[in-house]
Structure 1
């Protein structure tokens, strides 16, 4: 028994259509069906993280704009508004990186 065969195996219930798509994709990428499924699962997790990161960045930008609007209504000078917004963005990015 090979090393790979010792890993857990799972039965998969899927439609014939989906199986055919996976088989075709595996062939076109010169991979086994198992490797194709694993690759696609890994990519889906990466996409989830990328989507989260993009949403987080968009939220930060909206928050910075909101702060800039509030400060401008209080007659704060543009350089100070810019400095405050950039500081807020950097601090928020640091919070995200914290363990």
Structure 2
């Protein structure tokens, strides 16, 4: 990811990017639930690193998605995947 980020933040972003790559439509909440399910819960510190890292990430972004009930939530997408969909 961005080499200005501390190593632990880069590692957290790498794990999140791998999760996003393997899913169709996923939110940060889905990732937190997944990590809890596999017995590796996310600490508050790691969650803060992920949120901050998304703002600087070259590879991941939060894309607004409208749910069927009319509310919006952020879906995690790889930036290259999002660009391909727009093209």
| TM-score, normalised by the number of residues in structure 2 | 0.29
Q: Which has the larger radius of gyration?
A: 1
- Greater percentage in strand: 2
Relative contact order (alpha carbons < 8 A, sep ≥ 6): 1 or 2 greater?
A: 2
| TM-score, normalised by the number of residues in structure 1 | 0.26
